[in-house]
Structure 1
Amino acid sequence: MTVGSVLNYWHSGLDAIPDEVWRHPRLETLLLPDNALTGLPGRIGTLTRVHTLDLGHNKLRTVPDELGDLTALSRFLYLHDNDLTEVPATLGRLTRLAYLNVGENRLTTLPETLGDMTGLLELRAQHNELKQLPGTVGSLTALRELWLRGNRLTDLPVGVRHLTDLRELELRENALTAVPEALRGLPRLRRLDLRANPLAALPDWLAELPALEKLDLRWTDAPVGRSLLDGLESRGCVVLH
Protein backbone atom coordinates (compact mmCIF):
# COMPACT_ATOMS: atom_id res chain seq x y z
CA MET A 1 0.00 0.00 0.00
CA THR A 2 1.31 3.44 -0.92
CA VAL A 3 0.42 6.55 1.09
CA GLY A 4 2.37 9.62 0.03
CA SER A 5 6.01 8.90 0.80
CA VAL A 6 5.15 5.67 2.67
CA LEU A 7 5.21 2.11 1.33
CA ASN A 8 3.61 -0.43 3.65
CA TYR A 9 3.99 -4.15 2.91
CA TRP A 10 3.19 -5.46 6.38
CA HIS A 11 2.33 -9.18 6.41
CA SER A 12 2.28 -9.46 2.63
CA GLY A 13 3.95 -12.85 2.19
CA LEU A 14 7.01 -11.33 0.52
CA ASP A 15 10.31 -13.16 0.02
CA ALA A 16 11.85 -10.27 -1.94
CA ILE A 17 11.52 -6.49 -1.96
CA PRO A 18 8.92 -5.45 -4.57
CA ASP A 19 10.10 -3.61 -7.66
CA GLU A 20 7.78 -0.75 -6.76
CA VAL A 21 10.21 0.25 -4.02
CA TRP A 22 12.95 1.14 -6.49
CA ARG A 23 10.54 3.24 -8.57
CA HIS A 24 9.64 5.49 -5.65
CA PRO A 25 12.27 8.27 -5.65
CA ARG A 26 10.74 10.23 -2.77
CA LEU A 27 10.24 7.28 -0.45
CA GLU A 28 10.70 8.19 3.22
CA THR A 29 9.08 5.31 5.12
CA LEU A 30 9.44 1.68 4.09
CA LEU A 31 7.56 -0.93 6.14
CA LEU A 32 8.30 -4.59 5.42
CA PRO A 33 7.58 -6.37 8.72
CA ASP A 34 6.21 -9.86 9.15
CA ASN A 35 7.25 -11.26 5.79
CA ALA A 36 9.66 -13.99 4.65
CA LEU A 37 12.69 -11.95 3.58
CA THR A 38 15.97 -13.85 3.96
CA GLY A 39 18.26 -11.16 2.57
CA LEU A 40 18.42 -7.66 1.14
CA PRO A 41 20.00 -6.46 -2.11
CA GLY A 42 22.85 -3.96 -1.95
CA ARG A 43 20.49 -1.72 -3.85
CA ILE A 44 18.84 -0.93 -0.52
CA GLY A 45 21.55 1.72 -0.12
CA THR A 46 20.02 3.82 -2.88
CA LEU A 47 16.98 4.73 -0.77
CA THR A 48 18.69 7.86 0.43
CA ARG A 49 15.53 9.68 1.55
CA VAL A 50 14.26 6.94 3.87
CA HIS A 51 14.06 7.99 7.53
CA THR A 52 12.11 4.95 8.81
CA LEU A 53 12.82 1.33 7.85
CA ASP A 54 11.02 -1.65 9.38
CA LEU A 55 12.47 -5.09 8.58
CA GLY A 56 11.31 -6.79 11.76
CA HIS A 57 9.74 -10.24 11.96
CA ASN A 58 11.36 -11.63 8.82
CA LYS A 59 13.94 -14.38 8.23
CA LEU A 60 16.95 -12.22 7.47
CA ARG A 61 20.24 -14.06 7.83
CA THR A 62 22.38 -11.11 6.73
CA VAL A 63 22.01 -7.42 5.96
CA PRO A 64 24.35 -5.75 3.46
CA ASP A 65 26.98 -3.12 4.19
CA GLU A 66 24.97 -0.74 2.02
CA LEU A 67 22.46 -0.36 4.83
CA GLY A 68 24.94 2.13 6.22
CA ASP A 69 24.43 4.32 3.16
CA LEU A 70 20.95 5.27 4.39
CA THR A 71 22.25 8.31 6.18
CA ALA A 72 18.80 9.94 6.19
CA LEU A 73 17.62 7.25 8.62
CA SER A 74 16.78 9.39 11.62
CA ARG A 75 13.73 7.81 13.24
CA PHE A 76 13.52 4.03 13.37
CA LEU A 77 15.47 1.02 12.14
CA TYR A 78 13.82 -2.27 13.07
CA LEU A 79 15.85 -5.45 12.52
CA HIS A 80 14.36 -7.47 15.38
CA ASP A 81 13.06 -11.02 15.25
CA ASN A 82 15.22 -12.23 12.37
CA ASP A 83 18.06 -14.76 12.12
CA LEU A 84 21.03 -12.39 12.18
CA THR A 85 24.35 -13.48 13.65
CA GLU A 86 25.96 -10.09 13.03
CA VAL A 87 25.15 -6.58 11.88
CA PRO A 88 27.53 -4.65 9.64
CA ALA A 89 30.01 -2.14 11.01
CA THR A 90 28.65 0.33 8.45
CA LEU A 91 25.65 0.92 10.72
CA GLY A 92 27.97 3.35 12.49
CA ARG A 93 27.35 5.77 9.63
CA LEU A 94 23.75 6.20 10.78
CA THR A 95 24.65 9.05 13.09
CA ARG A 96 21.17 10.61 13.01
CA LEU A 97 19.22 7.46 13.91
CA ALA A 98 17.18 7.74 17.11
CA TYR A 99 15.86 4.19 17.59
CA LEU A 100 17.58 0.90 16.78
CA ASN A 101 16.07 -2.50 17.50
CA VAL A 102 18.24 -5.57 16.84
CA GLY A 103 16.54 -7.77 19.44
CA GLU A 104 15.47 -11.38 19.02
CA ASN A 105 18.33 -12.43 16.77
CA ARG A 106 21.45 -14.57 17.33
CA LEU A 107 23.99 -11.76 17.71
CA THR A 108 27.13 -12.59 19.66
CA THR A 109 28.67 -9.12 19.28
CA LEU A 110 27.77 -5.59 18.29
CA PRO A 111 30.26 -3.61 16.17
CA GLU A 112 32.65 -1.13 17.74
CA THR A 113 31.21 1.45 15.35
CA LEU A 114 28.05 1.41 17.46
CA GLY A 115 29.66 4.29 19.34
CA ASP A 116 29.47 6.46 16.22
CA MET A 117 25.65 6.34 16.29
CA THR A 118 25.53 9.35 18.56
CA GLY A 119 21.92 10.23 17.74
CA LEU A 120 20.57 7.10 19.42
CA LEU A 121 17.96 7.67 22.09
CA GLU A 122 16.95 4.03 22.44
CA LEU A 123 18.81 0.80 21.77
CA ARG A 124 17.12 -2.58 21.98
CA ALA A 125 19.32 -5.67 21.78
CA GLN A 126 17.34 -8.06 23.96
CA HIS A 127 17.26 -11.84 23.49
CA ASN A 128 20.55 -12.32 21.68
CA GLU A 129 23.77 -14.09 22.70
CA LEU A 130 25.83 -11.06 23.72
CA LYS A 131 28.56 -11.69 26.27
CA GLN A 132 29.73 -8.08 26.26
CA LEU A 133 28.99 -4.71 24.75
CA PRO A 134 31.56 -2.76 22.73
CA GLY A 135 33.53 -0.30 24.83
CA THR A 136 32.40 2.46 22.51
CA VAL A 137 28.86 2.30 23.90
CA GLY A 138 29.92 5.05 26.30
CA SER A 139 29.95 7.48 23.38
CA LEU A 140 26.16 7.25 23.06
CA THR A 141 25.65 10.14 25.42
CA ALA A 142 22.13 10.93 24.17
CA LEU A 143 20.92 7.40 25.00
CA ARG A 144 17.85 7.29 27.24
CA GLU A 145 16.84 3.63 27.12
CA LEU A 146 18.96 0.48 26.87
CA TRP A 147 17.24 -2.91 26.67
CA LEU A 148 19.50 -5.96 27.09
CA ARG A 149 17.27 -8.67 28.53
CA GLY A 150 18.06 -12.29 27.80
CA ASN A 151 21.74 -12.14 26.86
CA ARG A 152 24.88 -13.54 28.51
CA LEU A 153 26.38 -10.35 29.90
CA THR A 154 28.67 -10.65 32.92
CA ASP A 155 29.47 -6.93 33.17
CA LEU A 156 29.11 -3.62 31.34
CA PRO A 157 31.92 -1.50 29.87
CA VAL A 158 33.31 1.20 32.10
CA GLY A 159 32.27 3.78 29.50
CA VAL A 160 28.63 3.27 30.46
CA ARG A 161 29.30 5.79 33.24
CA HIS A 162 29.21 8.47 30.53
CA LEU A 163 25.57 7.71 29.66
CA THR A 164 24.38 10.58 31.80
CA ASP A 165 20.98 10.81 30.10
CA LEU A 166 20.15 7.11 30.56
CA ARG A 167 16.74 6.68 32.23
CA GLU A 168 15.84 3.00 31.72
CA LEU A 169 18.20 0.02 31.81
CA GLU A 170 16.96 -3.55 31.44
CA LEU A 171 19.50 -6.22 32.34
CA ARG A 172 17.06 -9.00 33.18
CA GLU A 173 18.11 -12.61 32.52
CA ASN A 174 21.83 -12.17 32.04
CA ALA A 175 24.85 -13.64 33.86
CA LEU A 176 25.66 -10.78 36.23
CA THR A 177 27.14 -11.82 39.55
CA ALA A 178 27.61 -8.19 40.60
CA VAL A 179 25.89 -4.91 39.79
CA PRO A 180 28.11 -3.22 37.19
CA GLU A 181 30.25 -0.51 38.78
CA ALA A 182 29.78 1.55 35.63
CA LEU A 183 26.25 2.39 36.79
CA ARG A 184 27.46 4.18 39.86
CA GLY A 185 26.37 7.79 39.92
CA LEU A 186 24.27 7.81 36.74
CA PRO A 187 22.27 10.98 37.41
CA ARG A 188 19.04 10.23 35.51
CA LEU A 189 18.65 6.48 35.83
CA ARG A 190 15.04 5.94 36.90
CA ARG A 191 14.42 2.24 36.34
CA LEU A 192 16.92 -0.57 36.75
CA ASP A 193 15.83 -4.14 36.03
CA LEU A 194 18.19 -6.80 37.38
CA ARG A 195 15.75 -9.69 37.53
CA ALA A 196 16.94 -13.27 37.17
CA ASN A 197 20.66 -12.62 37.45
CA PRO A 198 22.95 -14.68 39.74
CA LEU A 199 23.83 -11.65 41.87
CA ALA A 200 25.91 -12.43 44.94
CA ALA A 201 25.51 -9.06 46.66
CA LEU A 202 24.17 -5.55 46.22
CA PRO A 203 26.36 -2.46 46.60
CA ASP A 204 25.33 0.29 49.00
CA TRP A 205 25.84 2.89 46.28
CA LEU A 206 22.55 1.84 44.67
CA ALA A 207 20.91 4.03 47.28
CA GLU A 208 22.91 6.97 45.97
CA LEU A 209 21.47 6.87 42.44
CA PRO A 210 19.66 10.22 42.65
CA ALA A 211 16.79 9.60 40.20
CA LEU A 212 16.09 5.90 40.85
CA GLU A 213 12.35 5.21 41.03
CA LYS A 214 12.19 1.44 40.52
CA LEU A 215 14.71 -1.29 41.27
CA ASP A 216 13.65 -4.81 40.27
CA LEU A 217 15.58 -7.60 42.00
CA ARG A 218 13.11 -10.46 41.67
CA TRP A 219 14.47 -13.95 41.06
CA THR A 220 17.94 -13.06 42.28
CA ASP A 221 19.63 -14.57 45.33
CA ALA A 222 21.28 -11.36 46.45
CA PRO A 223 20.34 -10.36 50.00
CA VAL A 224 18.80 -6.90 50.26
CA GLY A 225 20.36 -5.13 53.24
CA ARG A 226 18.05 -3.23 55.53
CA SER A 227 20.02 0.00 55.20
CA LEU A 228 19.94 -0.17 51.41
CA LEU A 229 16.23 -0.92 51.38
CA ASP A 230 15.43 1.86 53.85
CA GLY A 231 17.58 4.32 51.95
CA LEU A 232 15.76 3.66 48.70
CA GLU A 233 12.23 3.40 50.05
CA SER A 234 12.60 6.53 52.15
CA ARG A 235 12.80 8.61 49.00
CA GLY A 236 9.99 6.80 47.19
CA CYS A 237 11.92 4.22 45.17
CA VAL A 238 9.96 1.00 44.62
CA VAL A 239 12.11 -2.06 45.29
CA LEU A 240 10.82 -5.41 44.06
CA HIS A 241 12.59 -8.42 45.54
Structure 2
Amino acid sequence: NRLEELPAALGDCAALVDLNLSANRLTTLPHRLGRLARLRTLGLGANRLRVLPDTLGGLHALRTLQLGENRLAALPAQLAECVALEDLGLAQNRLDDVPHELGLLPALRSLVLAAGRFEALPASLGDLARLERLELSGGKLFELPPTLGSLTALRSLRAADCRLASLPAGLSHLTALTSLRLDGNRLHALPHDLGGMCALGELWAGGNMLSSLPTGIGGCAALSTLGLPSNR
Protein backbone atom coordinates (compact mmCIF):
# COMPACT_ATOMS: atom_id res chain seq x y z
CA ASN A 1 0.00 0.00 0.00
CA ARG A 2 1.00 3.66 0.26
CA LEU A 3 0.69 4.32 3.97
CA GLU A 4 2.90 7.21 5.05
CA GLU A 5 1.84 7.36 8.68
CA LEU A 6 -0.12 5.41 11.26
CA PRO A 7 -2.68 6.72 13.74
CA ALA A 8 -1.58 6.69 17.37
CA ALA A 9 -4.85 4.88 18.15
CA LEU A 10 -3.41 1.73 16.54
CA GLY A 11 -1.62 1.22 19.84
CA ASP A 12 -5.00 0.78 21.53
CA CYS A 13 -5.86 -2.39 19.57
CA ALA A 14 -5.05 -4.51 22.60
CA ALA A 15 -5.93 -7.87 21.02
CA LEU A 16 -3.57 -7.44 18.05
CA VAL A 17 -1.23 -10.42 17.58
CA ASP A 18 0.01 -10.07 13.99
CA LEU A 19 0.70 -6.70 12.34
CA ASN A 20 2.08 -6.59 8.80
CA LEU A 21 2.92 -3.12 7.49
CA SER A 22 5.57 -4.13 4.97
CA ALA A 23 6.03 -2.40 1.61
CA ASN A 24 4.48 0.94 2.50
CA ARG A 25 5.96 4.43 2.79
CA LEU A 26 6.23 4.78 6.54
CA THR A 27 8.93 7.11 7.85
CA THR A 28 8.00 6.99 11.55
CA LEU A 29 5.98 4.85 13.95
CA PRO A 30 3.64 6.02 16.71
CA HIS A 31 5.05 5.65 20.22
CA ARG A 32 1.85 3.98 21.37
CA LEU A 33 2.71 0.96 19.24
CA GLY A 34 4.69 -0.21 22.26
CA ARG A 35 1.43 -0.81 24.13
CA LEU A 36 0.52 -3.85 22.02
CA ALA A 37 1.29 -6.32 24.78
CA ARG A 38 0.05 -9.38 22.84
CA LEU A 39 1.81 -8.63 19.56
CA ARG A 40 3.88 -11.60 18.35
CA THR A 41 4.73 -10.63 14.75
CA LEU A 42 5.57 -7.16 13.41
CA GLY A 43 6.42 -6.73 9.74
CA LEU A 44 7.91 -3.36 8.79
CA GLY A 45 10.16 -4.30 5.89
CA ALA A 46 10.47 -2.21 2.73
CA ASN A 47 9.42 1.11 4.22
CA ARG A 48 11.32 4.37 4.73
CA LEU A 49 11.92 4.20 8.45
CA ARG A 50 14.89 6.19 9.77
CA VAL A 51 14.29 5.75 13.50
CA LEU A 52 12.34 3.43 15.77
CA PRO A 53 10.52 4.54 18.92
CA ASP A 54 12.07 3.51 22.24
CA THR A 55 8.68 2.16 23.23
CA LEU A 56 9.15 -0.92 21.02
CA GLY A 57 10.92 -2.36 24.04
CA GLY A 58 7.49 -2.77 25.59
CA LEU A 59 6.57 -5.52 23.12
CA HIS A 60 7.43 -8.34 25.50
CA ALA A 61 5.47 -10.98 23.55
CA LEU A 62 7.07 -10.12 20.20
CA ARG A 63 8.70 -13.09 18.48
CA THR A 64 9.28 -11.84 14.93
CA LEU A 65 10.41 -8.35 13.93
CA GLN A 66 11.16 -7.65 10.27
CA LEU A 67 12.87 -4.33 9.55
CA GLY A 68 14.76 -5.06 6.34
CA GLU A 69 14.96 -2.56 3.48
CA ASN A 70 14.55 0.60 5.51
CA ARG A 71 16.84 3.56 6.24
CA LEU A 72 17.70 2.83 9.85
CA ALA A 73 21.04 4.26 10.98
CA ALA A 74 20.62 3.21 14.62
CA LEU A 75 18.50 1.00 16.85
CA PRO A 76 17.05 1.89 20.25
CA ALA A 77 18.79 0.21 23.19
CA GLN A 78 15.34 -0.70 24.51
CA LEU A 79 15.06 -3.32 21.77
CA ALA A 80 16.92 -5.61 24.18
CA GLU A 81 13.77 -5.62 26.33
CA CYS A 82 11.94 -7.70 23.70
CA VAL A 83 12.89 -10.82 25.63
CA ALA A 84 10.72 -13.21 23.57
CA LEU A 85 12.17 -12.11 20.21
CA GLU A 86 13.28 -15.09 18.10
CA ASP A 87 13.56 -13.70 14.56
CA LEU A 88 15.09 -10.29 13.81
CA GLY A 89 15.55 -9.06 10.23
CA LEU A 90 17.68 -5.96 9.63
CA ALA A 91 19.03 -6.47 6.11
CA GLN A 92 19.64 -3.51 3.80
CA ASN A 93 19.61 -0.68 6.27
CA ARG A 94 22.12 2.07 7.04
CA LEU A 95 23.58 0.80 10.29
CA ASP A 96 27.19 1.93 10.70
CA ASP A 97 27.43 -0.05 13.93
CA VAL A 98 25.62 -3.08 15.30
CA PRO A 99 24.58 -2.26 18.87
CA HIS A 100 25.87 -4.57 21.59
CA GLU A 101 22.32 -4.75 22.97
CA LEU A 102 21.46 -7.29 20.26
CA GLY A 103 23.54 -9.76 22.24
CA LEU A 104 21.11 -9.37 25.14
CA LEU A 105 18.16 -11.00 23.35
CA PRO A 106 18.00 -14.37 25.14
CA ALA A 107 15.50 -16.10 22.82
CA LEU A 108 16.96 -15.00 19.47
CA ARG A 109 17.26 -17.81 16.91
CA SER A 110 17.65 -15.92 13.63
CA LEU A 111 19.54 -12.68 13.01
CA VAL A 112 19.76 -11.21 9.51
CA LEU A 113 22.18 -8.31 9.05
CA ALA A 114 22.92 -8.73 5.35
CA ALA A 115 24.00 -5.83 3.14
CA GLY A 116 24.98 -3.61 6.06
CA ARG A 117 27.45 -0.74 6.29
CA PHE A 118 29.15 -1.86 9.51
CA GLU A 119 32.71 -3.18 9.42
CA ALA A 120 32.69 -5.17 12.66
CA LEU A 121 30.32 -6.95 15.02
CA PRO A 122 30.01 -6.59 18.79
CA ALA A 123 31.53 -9.33 20.92
CA SER A 124 28.17 -9.63 22.69
CA LEU A 125 26.72 -11.61 19.76
CA GLY A 126 28.60 -14.56 21.20
CA ASP A 127 26.13 -14.54 24.09
CA LEU A 128 23.19 -15.51 21.86
CA ALA A 129 23.06 -19.08 23.14
CA ARG A 130 20.01 -20.08 21.07
CA LEU A 131 21.05 -18.49 17.78
CA GLU A 132 20.69 -20.91 14.85
CA ARG A 133 20.99 -18.60 11.84
CA LEU A 134 23.33 -15.65 11.28
CA GLU A 135 23.20 -13.85 7.93
CA LEU A 136 25.92 -11.27 7.24
CA SER A 137 26.41 -11.51 3.47
CA GLY A 138 26.86 -8.55 1.18
CA GLY A 139 28.27 -6.13 3.73
CA LYS A 140 31.53 -4.37 4.55
CA LEU A 141 32.69 -6.68 7.31
CA PHE A 142 36.46 -6.84 7.75
CA GLU A 143 36.42 -9.31 10.61
CA LEU A 144 34.29 -11.62 12.71
CA PRO A 145 34.52 -11.52 16.51
CA PRO A 146 36.24 -14.50 18.19
CA THR A 147 33.17 -14.85 20.40
CA LEU A 148 31.22 -16.35 17.48
CA GLY A 149 32.83 -19.63 18.46
CA SER A 150 30.53 -19.64 21.50
CA LEU A 151 27.40 -19.99 19.34
CA THR A 152 27.11 -23.73 19.82
CA ALA A 153 23.49 -23.82 18.56
CA LEU A 154 24.38 -22.10 15.26
CA ARG A 155 23.37 -24.11 12.20
CA SER A 156 23.81 -21.60 9.36
CA LEU A 157 26.47 -18.88 9.02
CA ARG A 158 26.49 -16.80 5.85
CA ALA A 159 29.22 -14.21 5.42
CA ALA A 160 29.62 -14.19 1.65
CA ASP A 161 30.64 -11.14 -0.39
CA CYS A 162 32.16 -9.24 2.51
CA ARG A 163 35.78 -8.11 3.04
CA LEU A 164 37.01 -10.86 5.33
CA ALA A 165 40.74 -11.54 5.07
CA SER A 166 40.87 -14.06 7.92
CA LEU A 167 38.63 -16.02 10.25
CA PRO A 168 38.77 -16.01 14.06
CA ALA A 169 40.06 -18.93 16.07
CA GLY A 170 37.36 -20.98 17.71
CA LEU A 171 35.02 -21.45 14.75
CA SER A 172 35.68 -25.17 15.05
CA HIS A 173 33.58 -25.05 18.23
CA LEU A 174 30.49 -24.59 16.05
CA THR A 175 29.67 -28.27 16.23
CA ALA A 176 26.01 -27.79 15.20
CA LEU A 177 26.90 -25.82 12.05
CA THR A 178 25.56 -27.45 8.87
CA SER A 179 26.01 -24.62 6.33
CA LEU A 180 28.91 -22.16 5.99
CA ARG A 181 29.11 -19.59 3.18
CA LEU A 182 32.32 -17.59 2.85
CA ASP A 183 32.48 -17.06 -0.91
CA GLY A 184 33.51 -13.71 -2.35
CA ASN A 185 35.86 -12.59 0.42
CA ARG A 186 39.64 -12.10 0.68
CA LEU A 187 40.49 -15.24 2.61
CA HIS A 188 43.99 -16.69 2.25
CA ALA A 189 43.32 -19.71 4.45
CA LEU A 190 40.58 -21.70 6.14
CA PRO A 191 40.85 -22.64 9.84
CA HIS A 192 43.33 -25.47 10.42
CA ASP A 193 40.88 -27.11 12.82
CA LEU A 194 37.98 -27.01 10.36
CA GLY A 195 37.37 -30.68 11.05
CA GLY A 196 35.90 -29.76 14.42
CA MET A 197 32.73 -28.75 12.59
CA CYS A 198 31.50 -32.32 12.65
CA ALA A 199 27.97 -31.50 11.41
CA LEU A 200 29.07 -29.33 8.46
CA GLY A 201 27.21 -30.45 5.34
CA GLU A 202 28.01 -27.63 2.92
CA LEU A 203 30.95 -25.26 2.65
CA TRP A 204 31.23 -22.52 0.05
CA ALA A 205 34.48 -20.57 -0.16
CA GLY A 206 34.82 -19.69 -3.83
CA GLY A 207 36.10 -16.34 -5.02
CA ASN A 208 38.77 -16.04 -2.34
CA MET A 209 42.58 -16.28 -2.35
CA LEU A 210 42.95 -19.83 -1.09
CA SER A 211 46.03 -21.71 -2.29
CA SER A 212 45.55 -24.81 -0.14
CA LEU A 213 43.11 -26.57 2.16
CA PRO A 214 43.74 -27.53 5.79
CA THR A 215 44.33 -31.22 6.40
CA GLY A 216 41.74 -30.98 9.15
CA ILE A 217 39.01 -30.86 6.53
CA GLY A 218 39.10 -34.64 6.62
CA GLY A 219 37.30 -34.46 9.95
CA CYS A 220 34.19 -32.99 8.30
CA ALA A 221 32.52 -36.37 8.03
CA ALA A 222 29.11 -34.90 7.12
CA LEU A 223 30.42 -32.69 4.29
CA SER A 224 28.42 -33.37 1.12
CA THR A 225 28.88 -30.10 -0.80
CA LEU A 226 32.19 -28.26 -1.18
CA GLY A 227 32.36 -25.21 -3.44
CA LEU A 228 35.81 -23.70 -4.09
CA PRO A 229 35.68 -22.14 -7.58
CA SER A 230 37.72 -19.11 -8.62
CA ASN A 231 40.40 -19.15 -5.95
CA ARG A 232 44.04 -18.15 -6.50
8 Å CA contact retained: 1:158, 1:181:
no
Alpha carbons of structure 1 residues 19 and 208: separation in structure 2 relative to 1, 3 Å: closer
1:56 aligns with 2:68: yes
CA RMSD in angstroms comes to 1.8
> 38, 62, 74: which is aligned to 2:50?
38
- Offset of residue 93 of structure 1: 1.1
Alpha carbons of structure 1 residues 198 and 52: separation in structure 2 relative to 1, 3 Å: same
TM-score (norm 2): 0.89
> 99, 105, 111: which is aligned to 2:122?
111
Letter in 2 for 1:85: D
> 89, 94, 102: which is aligned to 1:83?
94
- Aligned pair count? 220
1:188 aligns with 2:188: no
In structure 1, runs of 5+ residues without a counterpart are 222-241
Alpha carbons of structure 1 residues 20 and 41: separation in structure 2 relative to 1, 3 Å: closer
CA distance in 2, matches of 1:91, 1:52: 14
State the SS of the aligned residue for 2:196.
Answer: coil
CA distance in 2, matches of 1:182, 1:151: 22
1:142 aligns with 2:153: yes
For residue 7 of structure 2, what is the aligned residue in structure 1?
Answer: none
**Pairs within 5 Å for 1:6-21:** 6-18=18-30, 21=33
- Offset of residue 22 of structure 1: 3.4
CA distance in 1, matches of 2:148, 2:135: 13
- The runs of 4+ residues in structure 1 deviating greater than 4 Å are 1-4
- Offset of residue 205 of structure 1: 3.1
For residue 139 of structure 2, what is the aligned residue in structure 1?
Answer: 128
Sequence identity, in percent? 38
State the SS of the aligned residue for 1:146.
Answer: strand
> 167, 189, 203: which is aligned to 1:178?
189
8 Å CA contact retained: 2:160, 2:181:
yes
TM-score (norm 1): 0.86
Letter in 2 for 1:211: A
Please list the CA deviations of residues 49-99 of structure 1 after superposition, one character each: whole Å capped at 9, or x if unmatched. 11110001111111121111111102x100111111111111111121110
1:24 aligns with 2:36: yes
8 Å CA contact retained: 1:123, 1:147:
yes
1:72 aligns with 2:89: no
Please list the CA deviations of residues 24-56 of structure 1 after superposition, one character each: whole Å capped at 9, or x if unmatched. 231111110000001112222111111110001
8 Å CA contact retained: 2:62, 2:85:
yes
Letter in 1 for 2:109: A
Q: In terms of mean alpha carbon deviation, does 88-97 or 140-149 score higher? A: 88-97
For residue 169 of structure 2, what is the aligned residue in structure 1?
Answer: 158
Q: In terms of mean alpha carbon deviation, does 40-49 or 189-198 score higher? A: 40-49
8 Å CA contact retained: 1:105, 1:127:
yes
CA distance in 2, matches of 1:123, 1:94: 14
CA distance in 2, matches of 1:66, 1:178: 39
CA distance in 2, matches of 1:207, 1:138: 20
State the SS of the aligned residue for 2:42.
Answer: strand
> 180, 187, 197: which is aligned to 2:208?
197
For residue 113 of structure 2, what is the aligned residue in structure 1?
Answer: 102
In structure 2, runs of 5+ residues without a counterpart are 1-9
